[in-house]
Amino acid sequence: MTAVLVIEGIAIILLALLVVGLLRSNADVMRALHELGAGEPGSDGSSRRRHRHQAPTREGASPDVAGSSLSGSAVHVGVSGAPHSTLLAFLSTGCSACVGLWEGLRTGVGMIGADDTRLVVVTKGAEAESESRLRELAPQGVSLVQSTDAWVDYEVPVSPYFVLVDGPSGAVIGEGSASSWDQVSSLMSQALADATSGRRDRLENGEFRADAELRKAGILPGDPSLYPEGPPQEDSEG
């Protein structure tokens, strides 16, 4: 009898240890999934993009670009807080898809139409680029910064890659890859139009302009005048 009780006790202790181990393992898996953003809105991999497009704050503003010029000087390009938009063109000397874009810059095709948009070419630092090739490719009259940090800061996934930043808010208003300046122009024109449309619809505090006008007129959410055909029915379960 005593032997049975001892064996049973040992079995219970082993099972308890097994349960504790499983719970710990489950917690590790859940923690890892949480860090990857699983289970949250935007878990399709858009978390980085969502962060970029959140309401602009000084803390969340896009970083300025600091690095070096081709002549070796230390340079800093103001992006957030500038009165104009900045188009950051992340190009590389080793990328075959960039060749046409470099050529377009040299011939002037790469000038973006919007007058208040500044073009800045950003390559990786000297450790990752061919200096001699860069001297051949670098266009005259266009700001060029060598900054591996900027590639990291803007989480550039491929080259060529373009990021359009609204200066006053510091928000990224468009980004993507393109293999010709026509595509870049189209991509950025659309982004600028969307951003302008958004600005027109909303006030500085983020409130919809229409909502503010209605509120000033004393019409608040739920006001009967908003529902000429009767108040909306509450959703009901069965």
Partner 1 sequence: MVRSAGIEVSVPSGWDAEIYRREADFAPQSGTPGASRPVVHLGTFPLPQGRGDFGSGAVEIMSADDLLVVLFEYGPESVGTALFARSGVPRVAAADFAPNNMQRPIAGQSGAQYFFNESGRAFCLYVVLGAHARRQELIPEVNHLLAGLTIDPA
Q: In sequence order, what E strands does the chain have?
A: 65-68, 74-77, 85-90, 117-123, 143-146, 161-165, 172-176
Min CB(77)–partner 1 separation in Å: 6
What span, in angstroms and rounded, lies between the C-alpha atoms of 152 and 144?
A: 17
Nearest-angstrom CA–CA distance, 205 and 185: 30
Binding positions for partner 1, rule: CB under 8 A: 58, 61, 64, 66, 69, 71-84, 118, 140-141, 143, 167, 170
Whichever of 37 and 78 has its CB closer to partner 1, that residue is: 78
- Shortest Cβ distance from residue 92 to partner 1 (Å)? 21
Give least dist CB 113 to partner 1, A: 17
What's phi and psi for 140, nearest 5 deg?
-80, 145
- The closest alpha carbon to 87, from 169, 186, 172, belongs to 172
Are 151 and 169 within 8 A, CB to CB?
Answer: no
The first and second tokens of residue 173, run together, are 């208003």
Residue with Cβ nearer partner 1 (46 or 54): 54
In our burial notation (b when 16+ CB lie closer than 10 A, e otherwise), range 46-64 reads eeeeeebeeebeeeebbeb
C-beta of 154 vs 159, nearer to partner 1: 154
User: Which is closer to partner 1, CB of 79 or CB of 184?
Assistant: 79
- Toward partner 1, which CB reaches closer, 167 or 174? 167
Shortest distance, CB of residue 167 to partner 1, whole angstroms? 7
Supply the minimum distance, in Å, between the C-beta of residue 128 and partner 1: 20
